[in-house]
Amino acid sequence: MRTFFVIWLGQLVSVTGSSLSSFALAVWILQTTGSTTSYAGIFLSASLPGILFSPIAGALVDRWDRRRVMLVSDAVAALGTLALFLLLFAGRLEPWQIYVTSAINALCASFQNPAYTAAITVLVPKSQYGRASGMVQMASAVAEVLAPALAGVLLVAIGARGVLAIDLATAAFAITTLAVVRIPSPARSAEGAAARGTLWQEAAFGWRYIVARKGLLRLVLLFSVVNFATGMVIVLFTPLVLSLHGPEVTGVVLTLASSGMLLGAALMSAWGGPERRVQAIVAFVCIQGATCLLAGFQPNVVLIVTAAFMFLFTVPIINACTQTIWQRKVAPDVQGRVFAVRRMIARIATPLAYLLAGPLADDIFEPMLADGGALASTVGRVIGVGPGRGIAFLYVMLGVLIISAAVWTSLSPRFRRIESELPDAVPDRAKAAA
């Protein structure tokens, strides 16, 4: 646990710095271009390359030392931030350069994420997986809470160059923490021996592993739908709030909403999660859908903040419960490739959400719910008309989609019996080979 805590602390500091610069750069694009589609482009470039490359990255993670994988990934991402800093300093920064750097960082994340998750399995006792996953979620939550308000203040005080410089310093801290720890190699399993082959064969193993276990396949398909909806929710949230208030209020709203994620992560870190994780996942996913319905109901910022708070409160609970199931059921020496394919399936629809969110909002739903629009006299009577109400109607539709996906998944007996039907691949005390 001591080694895990050192790594976790470094990643906490690093992800906070990355969130600061990501928020600052996203605001810079939105203010420079005035386009929701251009704003969504940074989300697309920060996700698609990593998702597509995940199977190969996962196979390599299982072949290589996981600490070194994390070190190199953090170092390359830091070099991308340095390049943006220099371009901004020279006055030559353009949106396409941010997209390219975000794509490179996404490739780094396709190595870093499965290496980090698989490392937890050999560092932490099985009984503590839920708490460890809660701590990982807390690191993300702290960044989500601090970044919007703090980045807004820092942009005024020290400018975008200063924010990028902070990101570079936090990356250096994370690299230092990784340099002083040791992550043991996982014990070899029969599944790992059977999975050996060429790089392409090992990359395909993760897909075969998941498809052969129908309960896990249902679980990851549920997250593919939920992540598609969540992608749109995230992209459109800032424009939705901006339709009601200015940027100064938007930063505060984002911070208040993100505190829900921090509270949920703190709860999971202290609690470790319920014993019946599958039922908890379905219940909290349904709550997510209900909050989307609430956010789209009326143009009221208090209602929107409350809904966003509850939505984000459920995220670390759902993620920690899911992560614990996967860590228990997959042998440690194949977790890199299995987790990478799982990540690809779960997130493959997210870039599509980023791609569609802007055009759907700008070109279809906003005009339909403007004064005199096609839906102004029907849907508009319920949720209102004017700026932001098209986005609100999209939120209602996304809420229905999320709830429907949760109900459909829960109808599968294999899904409901994941925890009892599949044997644990990790003993009570994780053992590692020298």
CA distance 433 to 303: 52
| Residue 50 pLDDT | 83
Look at residue 280 in the predicted model and tell me its pLDDT: 94
Q: Please, which residues have CB within 8 angstroms of residue 164's CB and are 6 or more apart in sequence?
A: 21, 24, 81, 84, 85, 88
C-alpha angle 268-269-274 in degrees, rounded to nearest 5: 35
91 backbone dihedrals φ, ψ, rounded to 5°: 75, 25
Residue 201 pLDDT grade (very low, low, confident, very high; cuts 50, 70, 90): confident
Structural domains present in the chain: 2-422 (1.20.1250.20)
For residue 119, pLDDT beyond 90: no
Which tokens belong to 45?
């470039």
On the question of pLDDT at 225 being above 80, the answer is yes
pLDDT at 365 over 60: yes
H or E stretch at 234: helix 214-242
What the block records as the tokens of 70 is 């994390």
**In the predicted structure, residue 299 carries a pLDDT above the cut 90:** no
Residue 430 has pLDDT above 50, yes or no: no
pLDDT beyond 50 at 349: yes
Cβ atoms 174, 14 nearer than 8 A: yes
Question: Which residues touch 216 (CB under 8 Å, ≥6 apart)?
Answer: 210, 326, 329, 342, 418, 422
Q: What pLDDT does residue 213 have? A: 92
CB 396 within 8 A of CB 236: no
* Predicted local confidence at residue 307, as pLDDT: 93
Three-state secondary structure call for residue 186: strand
Q: Are strands 185-186 and 432-433 parallel, antiparallel or unpaired?
A: antiparallel
Indicate the length of the chain as a whole number.
434
CA distance 171 to 81: 9
Q: Return the closest-CA partner of residue 50 out of 73, 29, 68.
A: 73
| CA distance linking residue 400 with residue 394, whole number of Å | 10
Largest CA distance in the chain: 70
Are 83 and 101 in contact by the 8 Å Cβ rule? The answer is yes
Helix or strand (DSSP H, E) at 432 = strand 432-433
What angle in degrees, to the nearest 10, is found between the helix axes of 129-157 and 2-33? 40
Average per-residue pLDDT in the chain? 85
pLDDT value at position 148?
Answer: 67
CA distance 301 to 314: 20
Please give the average per-residue pLDDT across 65-72, as a whole number: 90
Say how many C-beta atoms besides its own lie within 10 A of residue 148's C-beta. Answer: 24
pLDDT of 415 > 90? The answer is yes
For range 396-401, the mean pLDDT: 95
pLDDT: which is higher, 71 or 245: 71
User: For position 33, what pLDDT does the model report?
Assistant: 73
Half-sphere exposure of 149 (CA within 13 A, CB side): 12
Q: Does residue 434 carry a pLDDT above 60?
A: no
pLDDT for 433: 39
Q: Where are the beta strands (DSSP E) in 43-151?
A: none
Q: How sure is the predictor about 177, in pLDDT bands with cuts at 50, 70 and 90?
A: very high
- pLDDT tens-digit profile of 307-345? 999 999 999 899 989 989 998 888 888 888 898 899 889
Residues 6+ apart with CB under 8 A from 254: 148, 149, 237, 238, 241
Q: Which of 251 and 402 is assigned the larger pLDDT?
A: 402
Pick the range with the lowest mean pLDDT from 127-136, 170-179, 335-344, 411-420: 127-136
- Give the model confidence (pLDDT) of 26-59 as tens digits: 777 777 776 666 776 777 788 788 888 888 888 8
% residues pLDDT > 70 (the chain): 93
How many whole angstroms separate alpha carbon 272 and alpha carbon 179?
Answer: 29
Tell me the chain's radius of gyration from C-alpha atoms.
21
For residue 109, what pLDDT is reported?
87
pLDDT tier at 431, thresholds 50, 70, 90: very low
